[in-house]
Structures are given as C-alpha cells and as structure tokens.
Amino acid sequence: MAEPDAPGVCEDEAEQDADSPDSESGASGESDMELLRNLLSRTLGLGGDKPEQVLDELTLEGISRFIRSPRCKNIVCMVGAGISTSAGIPDFRSPGTGLYSNLQGYNLPYPEAIFEISYFKQHPEPFFALARELYPGQIKPTLCHYFMRLLQDKGLLLRCYTQNIDTLERVAGLQEELLVEAHGTFHTSRCLRLRCRQRYDFGWLRDKIFSSPVPRCDKCQGVVKPDIVFFGENLPSRFFTLLQSDFQAVDLLIIMGTSLQVQPFASLVSRVPTNTPRLLINKEKTGQSDPLMSLMGFGCGMDFDSEKAYRDVAWLGECDSGCLALAELLGWKKELLELVRKEHAAIDAQTGGAQGEAQGGNWEKPSGATGSSEGTTGSSGGATGSSEGVTGSSGGVTGTPEHGTGGSGH
C-alpha cells in the first residue's frame, strides 16, 4: 500500500497511484488450501506426481533444443537492470559503480530515499538532478533487448516482465501488449495534484527535466512525476492481472540481469508449472533458496546444482553474451546481429550521428561459454546487474532500482 503523505506536504499533492486499483486485487485467485498445496508441491516435492523433466540436459544446449522443439510455444522473459548496463545505464548494487555507491552529493538521509515517494513529495529536486546527470543522450537497446525482439518476431514471446524503467524494451520494438513494466515507466508522467492529474508524454518530461529544476504542470504548476513506481507505491494492476494466465501458459521462463531480491517480482519464478524449464542468464547465480524459506513466500527455490535439479539452467556472464551464445545455438546469430545493426543505424540516423561500439561492446566475441547448471563462465564474482526498481529510466534516464509494493529494500 502507498505511504500516507508526509507532514508538511500540500494536501493536493497525491500519490501517483490514486487512480490505480489495490495491488492485491487479483493477485491470487487460489484458495488458502490450494495455495498451500501448490507451495508444498513446488518447494518440497510433496503431493502429486514427480515433475516431468523436459530438457534432455541442463545446459544452454539443452535449452536451445527445447526452444526448437514443438513443445516450446510460449516464452516469458523476466528482466532487470543487468540487460541495460551495456547501454550505459548503471545498475544499483554493483560496488563502486552502482547508483547506491554514488549518491553522496545529494545530501540524502540514506541512498534509497531518492526513490521513496514520501521523500520525493517533500524534496523532488534530488531525483530530477540525478535524472539529468545520468541521462546519456539517445540510448540504444542492447543485444539482449533485440534477442527478446527476435523471440517476438518468431511468435515465441508470450510476455516480457521488466523491472526496468528505461523504456529500452519499447525502443527495441517490443509490442506494448507483450510488455509488462512491473515498476512503471518514464514513457508517461502526470501531475501529482488530485484536482489536476494532467498526463504528459516522455518528450514533454525530457524537455522539462533539462530546462527546470523540477518539472511543473502547465495547468496548475504542481509537481509532475514520471509514472514509475517509487518505494511506497503499488505496482501497476496490469502486473497482477496478466501474471495469473501467463505463468500457467508458459513453456519456458528466461530470467536475465536481475538479482531476484525484490518482491513481488522475484516470486514470479515460482509461479510457473513444476515441469517448466527456467534459464537464468546473469553475472551470478540468484533465486536460490532453501525449501523452508520458499514455503514462507521468500525466495524462489531455483535449483541449479543439487542431485534433484531437473529444470533450472544458469549461464553466468554478461547478458548480451549469454543471448548471443543462445542465438548461435539456435542458428539465429546472423539474424540477431543484423537486427541490432539495422536498428542501431536507424537510431543513429534519427539522432544525426553514430555512437560507435560504446554500447554493447564487441558482440562477436561473447565473454562466456555455454553455461550449464554448474554455471561455467564469465564473471560470476561480479554483482548482478539489476536495474530493477524504481527509478532509472524507461524513457532513457537511468536504470531502475529493484523494489516492490510497500517499499521493501533494494
């Protein structure tokens, strides 16, 4: 639930969610007993038949063969900040380079305050100052974004659930109906005053960010806030509505560039059917938890290494490299690289100049080998890139911190 207005704030400065339904509505249609039964079955292996293993081996090769099989028709992608770092958007938790390590100049009571709705209502200046500082110009989607575009074009993408607010999924050409922006977006914004609630598009907000300390409504001069989900606000109702059907119909879940630390987003990985394979492409393994924690609703229960592992595969390394390795196994590498070049050239033509290879690096030489449930490659020691959360920029401002309803910590 959203936090109440902080003391001293004008009464008509209201939360962005004032016109959105309660986040809990539709969040679960299961009875208490059915929910308990499903949790026991999924996390402890109690009740029901033993889950079918649909992968012939727990490797990226096994995943690629499954994707090419008739059984794989609906792929859901769950993505976080790690898919956007190669575009120049920082993540939040990486030591030294993450946003939380570099907010000393904003005189915040604590780093997360810059993304809290109660603090924003009293002090919007630090957030917009950060947005101006991090805005990197015309951001180009990464190879990872275009891999999801390729899944869409081939009719395999059921939905992309993103924690990012940088709008790069939109720029890459993902159709709006296939996209769930779990933590909101910079694509639209609105006045915070209840008596106004005037909506604005990203072009208007971008111009205001660079022309004034705080964007103000043209009609009433109230503060205009991008439609991103701050700590203390509800997630969009679309998130809860679609997950009910999507995570029952999914044949393959691909998780990329997220630490899976923030609820309720992180819990989605446990909502898929028990025989649905799950592929993690990330700098380090994440989403693993012991059965008791999973039963209590914390953690995701992914199992890459135990003797009982039967469906989870981890590929460790940069997200772009992992997607390129998978594309190569699928026979899509040439098509993917051509799509990236074509789309980036179109962006360069619009902006009047190329940005070279700064974004995305040299994709011809992936940094990681084909990972497996052992997670062989790349820099597993690095922090998981995770633009999940509140601010950053779906419209091209910054990554997005991980967070969930009620403002749980990053």
Active-site annotation, residues: 183
Strand 157-162's sheet: what is its strand order?
A: 179-181, 157-162, 75-79, 252-256, 278-282, 312-316
How far CA 232 is from CA of 1, 153, 323, 390, in Å, comes to 7, 37, 34, 10
CB 405 within 8 A of CB 307: no
- How many whole angstroms separate alpha carbon 94 and alpha carbon 120? 24
Under DSSP, is residue 44 helix (H, G, I), strand (E, B) or coil? Answer: helix
Under DSSP, is residue 227 helix (H, G, I), strand (E, B) or coil? Answer: strand
- How many whole angstroms separate alpha carbon 410 and alpha carbon 399? 13
- How many whole angstroms separate alpha carbon 372 and alpha carbon 384? 18
- How many whole angstroms separate alpha carbon 301 and alpha carbon 122? 40
Cα atoms in the Cβ-side hemisphere of radius 13 Å centred on 273:
18
Pairing of the two strands 199-201 and 278-282? unpaired
Alpha helices in 286-405 (DSSP H): 291-295, 319-330, 333-351
- Which residues in 83-164 belong to E strands, given as ranges? 157-162
Residue 218 contacts by C-beta under 8 Å, 6 or more apart in sequence? 198
